[in-house]
A and B are shown apart, each in its own frame.
Chain A
Amino acid sequence: MPEGPEGNVANPVPEKTAAPAAAAPKPAPTPWDGECAQKMRSLFGSGIRDSLTFAGQNYLIVDRSICHDVLRSLYQDSGFTSLTDLTAVHYPKDELPIEIIWILYSMSRNEHVRIKARFGDGEAVPTSTDLWAGANWLEREVYDMFGASFTGHPDLRRILMPEGWAGHPLRKDYDAHKQDENWVRANIGIESGQ
């Protein structure tokens, strides 16, 4: 069937769009006061900076000094036995630019929760490999891409970028076209990989 910019000839796309949804107020995070948030608040007090929910997803913003205690408590006492993902976001203009995000999942409760904590540049982040074996590669990737170092990690090395590469690509101050020219010259024997 020939297909042009109008899409499938038999069924042109424009006529097939749904009615517009009613104008809704701009969504924003709202306070989350679930059982889990209350429990964490009673345990850690002001260390839990905020508990919010957005698009039906709950997350806790915690102080960096207690992040590992929060994770351990959720793991041991609240049934969050799986670490779904561990990642980071770089906010270069902020005082504490590296935000680490742990996405936890509880199979028994069928519930996700995100834990977020801010760290300074190069500041040590406590490892969570003692709770989840799977955190090993995830922390290596965050180190590789953002330069955050994890204390207590058994084998903190680069994982996706080559050994000896300079810079951490997913930081906002690292341009998409940037590369470690010295590394490229020394290891590939060309002036530029672009």
Chain B
Amino acid sequence: MSDNQFYDSLEEVEPGHTFLDSNEMVLNMGPQHPSTHGVLRVILKLDGEKVNGIECVIGYLHRGIEKLAEHRTWAQFAPFVDRLDYTAAVSNNLGYCLAVEKLLGVEVPKRAQYLRVIVTELCRLASHQVWLGTHVLDIGAVTPLFYAFRDREAILNVFEKYCGARLTTHSFRIGGCRYDAYPGFAQEVLHICEDLGPKIDEYRDLITGNRIWLQRTKNVGHISAEDCIAYGITGPVLRGSGVQWDVRKAQPYSSYEDFEFDIPIGSAGDTFDRYLVRIEEMRQSIRIIRQAVEGLMEGPIIARVPKVIKPPVGEVYHSIEAPKGELGYFLVSDGTTQPYRVRVRPPSFINLQALQKMATGSLVADVVAIIGTLDIVLGEVDR
């Protein structure tokens, strides 16, 4: 299976009979551990270096966001969703606004849809840069972190100019956008697109051919397409296993059907393929942003939505392709000004569940690589 001899030697040894003749030992990783990307506790059952069992303990960051929603009005809850996946706040916001708009039956003006696409795709770039920097850092390469964060800065500067905030932006409103593009917005965004292409090549030159990187990621954390579907995994992890499925193509929202882009897929379903998929996704995001900026038409940026939002009695489920996977909102309205129930389908929570499947049988050092490749954000896992 592996071209690494050390792995093969481990395969042959039956559990409990290692060459060290050691006993099983329990190791706690976290909840405060730099490579778990937040407060995640992983209990490892080890036989020497080999992981025989793994269990995640989550909930350290649970803030009861779904409960809080029931005590806010529909509009008041919108800023809360920024705090779910705080590396991609814009996507969370878009998903929530689209779900409420579906419930209300509101048609968002075309200009607002394009603006939303531009900001959301910029956010996907920023989120993938955080993933790249921290994932590679976990595996031991320090330099790419600085490259990725340097380039992310340009995107955050645009967010800051656009809506005043860098991380938890809350730039969208139910019915459209709060802010129109500022003067020079299009030029700045196009400049980022122009700039980032060669910089992604730089990441590639730094990482892709690196021998240590290849050894640490090839055949590590393998998951098959069937297992992905059984676990409900979505996003780059699913695509890394060769399933060409993306909500933006399958069920387009916010005018994604207007843009030409490809869905990159992997074949091996290992950490290296997922890395390639995300890198290619960044290039595709640039393509989408270019088309959206060039096609940005004049017009209103927000639909007429009543000040007091009172959706009809009913329930909807709406999902979008967030950087981490399918982010869905299931909303139940009882016809009042407050949601009766808001359920967030968090991609990180559902993807993290497969850690057990992916990491059992691997080496303890690979657990760190697999957590990184799943690209989880604990704010979203625990809500």
Contact = CB atoms under 8 A, between A and B. Distances in A.
Contact of B300 (A17, A90, A132, A134): A17
Contacts of A21: 106-107, 303-304
Interface string B239-263: 0000101000011000000000000
B314 interface: yes
Contacts of A82: 229, 232
A174 to B, nearest CB: 8
A104 B161 CA distance: 41
Interface residues of A, number: 51
A27 B311 CA distance: 9
A10 interface: yes
A132 B317 CA distance: 20
Interface stretch (B82-90, B265-273, B289-297, B340-348): B340-348
Contacts of B317: 57, 84-85, 103, 112, 114
Interface of B: 58-59, 62, 64, 66-68, 70-71, 102-103, 105-107, 109, 161, 164, 176, 178-183, 227, 229-233, 243, 245, 250-251, 299-304, 312-317, 319, 326, 328, 330, 332, 340-341, 343, 345, 349-350, 353, 357, 382-383
Contacts of A176: 64, 67-68, 70-71
Contacts of A127: none
A185 to B, nearest CB: 19
A16 B181 CA distance: 12
Contacts of A170: 66-67, 341
Given A17-B300, A17-B302, A134 B350 contact: yes
B302 A162 contact: no
A55 B102 CA distance: 7
The list of the 3 closest CB pairs from A to B, nearest first, reads A134-B232, A11-B180, A160-B59
A82 B243 CA distance: 13
23 contacts: A3-B164, A8-B180, A10-B182, A10-B183, A11-B179, A13-B178, A13-B301, A16-B180, A16-B301, A16-B302, A17-B302, A18-B303, A27-B312, A27-B314, A84-B232, A84-B345, A89-B340, A134-B230, A134-B231, A158-B59, A159-B58, A160-B382, A174-B67
A183 interface: no
Given A103-B317, A170-B66, A13 B353 contact: no
Given A81-B229, A85-B330, A7 B251 contact: no
Nearest to B244: A107
Nearest to B109: A18
A90 B67 CA distance: 12
Given A20-B304, A89-B340, A133 B230 contact: yes
Given A11-B180, A134-B232, A137-B353, A19 B304 contact: yes
A29 B333 CA distance: 13
A97 to B, nearest CB: 13
B39 to A, nearest CB: 12
Given A84-B317, A85-B317, 17 more contacts: A1-B182, A10-B183, A18-B176, A21-B106, A27-B314, A28-B313, A55-B105, A84-B345, A103-B328, A112-B317, A132-B230, A134-B232, A158-B59, A162-B59, A170-B66, A176-B67, A176-B71
B316 A84 contact: no
Interface in A140-174: 145, 158-162, 169-170, 174
Contacts of B319: 84
A13 B302 contact: yes
Contact of B328 (A81, A85, A161): A85
A87 B345 CA distance: 9
A17 B66 contact: no
Interface in A29-71: 29, 54-55, 57
Contacts of A17: 300, 302-304
